[in-house]
Amino acid sequence: MESQSHTTTFLLIAAFLMVLHRPISAVQTPSPTTNDLDFIRTSCNATLYPDVCFTSLSGYAAAVKANPARLARLAIGISLSRAKSTAAYLAKLSHAAEYGSDHRTVAALHDCVSNVGDAIDEMRGSLKQLRDINRPAVGAAARRSADTFRFQMSNVQTWMSAALTDEDTCTDGFDDAAEGDTKAEVGERIADVKKFTSNALALVNCYANNGAP
């Protein structure tokens, strides 16, 4: 038994080394077809920011194929990533602003950090729900009813809408803050995140309307 175990271990290591030294070209993802890219482009036309949508998603066209569920998950994932990056930036900015003299800007920053944090949680919830919807099932569980699908997608839509509202609330909090670099920088960052969140919500809506089993 011990000899067999050693043989198995050796084979696994050998296989790993073969993969490790395989030429990069051999492990590259396949190039997207025209149909793959057309699906991304057509889907993005349903969003408010189609150019931003296509630029951010077209690189994954070969993996998405013509699958609206994958596209919705991908869009939320990218939006979530942008929101996380912005949250880290806002946290640093908020800490630095503690020593500033404009208390309204400081208060607005604190609230904004909280708002974006809530948006991140809501996007995570949306992503988890989408993954649950598309998780492979066995037997009778595979025959999910259209009513269940609509209920689950309604949750995703609600959470993504709430995330967009939280991002709006962040910038609204700066209405009474003094004009300056901080207000401008936060406005630009949040505006960027809102575009991705809005696009993700639009793609979720498309999937909800057209993807019922």
Residue extents of the structural domains in the chain: 33-210
Give the pair of three-digit tokens for residue 66: 């013509």
Of the two residues 85 and 96, the one the predictor is more confident about is: 85
The residues, any chain, with a CB within 8 Å of residue 160's CB and separated by 6 or more, are 76, 122, 123, 126, 197, 200, 201, 204
The residue among 66, 41, 64 whose CA lies nearest residue 52 is: 41
Bigger pLDDT: 151 vs 116: 116
Supply the mean pLDDT for the chain: 82
Distance CA 45, CA 202 (A): 10
In this structure, are residues 170 and 116 in contact, taking their beta carbons and an 8 Å threshold?
yes
At residue 135, the pLDDT reads 56
- At the topology level, CATH places domain 33-210 in Butyryl-CoA Dehydrogenase, subunit A; domain 3 (1.20.140)
198 to 5, 62, 71, 80, 181: CA distances (angstroms): 54, 23, 14, 12, 25
